[in-house]
Amino acid sequence: MEKAIAKAEVLLKQGIPKEKIAAALNIPEEACEIAAARLRNEKIQKTSHKNLYMALNDLRFATNETAANYRAKRLKCDTIIEIGSGIGLQSIALAKTCKKVYAIEIDKRKHEYAVKNANLLGINNIEFIHGDALKVINQIKKADIVFCETEREAEEKERSIKSIKPDIMKVIKEYGKISKDICIEVPPQIQEVQLDCEREYLSVNHELNRLNLYFGKLKKCEISAVIAETGERLENEGKKLKESKPLSYLYESDGAVKKAGIEIPLKGLFNCNEYLTSEKKLSSVFFKAVFEIKAKCKGIRNIFSALKKAGCGKVILRIKISPEKYWEERKKYESELEGKETCHLFSSKDEMLVCKKIEEKD
C-alpha cells in the first residue's frame, strides 16, 4: 500500500486528478485518496507526522492538532475513554498526557486507520475498540474521564443537540455510571445548550474552532473562551463594557471570545457596534486584529479623499455586503487609488471608517 501511495503522490503533485491515477497505475483508489489527504495535511498541519492514514473527508472533520493538544492537557488523567475517536488524531494527543486511552469508533475503516496511525508513531497505551459506544461500554470497567467527539451532518442548516450522534443524553446517562467527569465536543454553532455544564469556546489562530461541554468536576464556570495555542482563557463574569462611538482604535475580538459573548476586561475599552474601540492603543491576546482609525467619513468623495491621503491602493471591505457584490463594490473604491498601502473600510452608523491594520509583533 505504501508504494502505491508514494506513486500516487508523485502524480498528484503533477496536477493529475486522483480519479485518473488509480486506473493509470492499476493501484487501489484508496491509495490515491490517502495520498491526496497526506498532501493536503502537509499544507494545514505544521508538526504532525506526514505519513498517517486518512481520507480527505477524515481530514476535513479531524481535530486540529493545536486543539487536540490543548484538550489533551485539560483532560489529563490516568485513564480516559474517547468516544468517536475517528482516525485517532485526538487519541494520539491524549496518549501523551494520559496513562491509558480507550478509543471507541463505530466506523471500521476509521478504526483500522487509527490503529495503523498509532503503530506508525510507536504509541502503545491506546486500546482501540470497534463498535457502537453504547453497546461496547461493558468492555470498560473504570476510567477517570469520558470524552465524546460527536458527529453531525456536514450540510445541516441548523445545528442542535438533538441532531448530533451519538445521542449525548444517552452517553451522559450510560457513561456517567463509569465517571461523572465528562467532556463532549459539539458544533460551536449550536445556539442553546440547556445542560448543567461549562461551555468552552475554543479558538485556533483566533478563529472559532470547537465547543467543549464539561460536566462534573471538569466544569470550572458557566461559559469560557480559550485560545488553544496558549491556553489563555476568559470566563463570563457578567461584566459589560460601556458603549461608545468609534474613538482612535478599533479591535476585532478573538473568534471564541466573540461567540461566547464575553467582554475583554481592559480599562479604556468600549463596545462599538460589533467591534471594540479605545482612545489609546491597547494590547490583549484576545484581540484578533487591531486597527488605527485614520479617518471618519460621510459621502463617497470624502471616503476617496481619505483613502488617497492614507496612501491606499488596496481596500478590504469590512461592511455588510453580499458575496456576489463584494468585488464589484471593492473595485469601485480601488479604481481611483494608486498607493501601496492596504486600508480597511468599516461602517459605523451614518459614517465610514478608514482604518489601517496594525501588525502586532511577537
75 and 13 both lie in a single domain: no
Q: Tens of pLDDT along the chain (362 residues)?
A: 888 888 888 888 888 888 888 888 888 888 989 988 888 887 666 556 678 999 999 988 888 899 999 999 999 999 999 999 999 999 999 999 999 999 999 999 999 999 999 999 999 999 999 999 999 999 999 999 999 999 876 555 555 666 788 999 999 999 999 999 999 999 888 877 889 999 999 999 999 999 999 999 999 999 999 999 999 999 987 678 999 999 999 999 999 999 999 999 999 999 998 899 999 999 999 999 999 999 999 888 899 999 999 999 999 999 888 999 999 999 988 988 999 999 999 998 889 999 999 986 54
Are both 266 and 305 inside the same structural domain? yes
Q: Does residue 272 lie within any of the structural domains? A: yes
The pLDDT assigned to 16 comes to 87
Full 3-state SS string of 274-316: CEEEECCCCCCCCEEEEEEEEEEECCHHHHHHHHHHCCEEEEE
Are both 226 and 260 inside the same structural domain? no
H-helix segments, the chain: 2-13, 18-25, 29-44, 56-61, 65-74, 89-95, 108-120, 168-175, 255-260, 300-309, 323-334
Mark whether 39 and 68 lie in a shared domain. Answer: no
Q: Is the dihedral of CA 234, 238, 242, 246 positive or negative?
A: positive
Q: Are residues 310 and 172 in the same domain?
A: no
Give the span between the Cα atoms of 295 and 303, in whole angstroms: 8
The C-alpha R_g of the chain, in whole angstroms, comes to: 24
According to DSSP, the residues that pair with 8 across neighbouring strands are none
Residues 195 and 257 in one domain: no
Q: Are 211 and 255 contained in the same domain?
A: no
The pLDDT score that the predictor gives to residue 165 is 86
CA distance 171 to 59: 25
Residues 95-128 as b or e (16 or more Cβ within 10 Å = b): bebbebbbbbbbbeebbebbbbbbeebebeebeb
* End-of-domain residue from the set 190, 208, 233: 233
With respect to residue 238, please indicate whether it lies within any of the assigned structural domains.
no
- The pairing of strands 207-214 and 182-186 is antiparallel
Instruction: Tell whether 344 and 279 lie within a shared domain.
Output: yes
Q: Which helix (H) or strand (E) holds 82?
A: strand 79-83
* 120 and 84 fall within a common domain: yes
Asked if residue 243 is part of any domain, the answer here is no
pLDDT at 99: 98
What the block records as the C-alpha cell of 185 is 465536543
Number of domains in the chain: 3
One domain for residues 221 and 262: no
Asked if residue 244 is part of any domain, the answer here is no
| Domain carrying residue 111 | 63-233
Give the pLDDT score at 362.
45
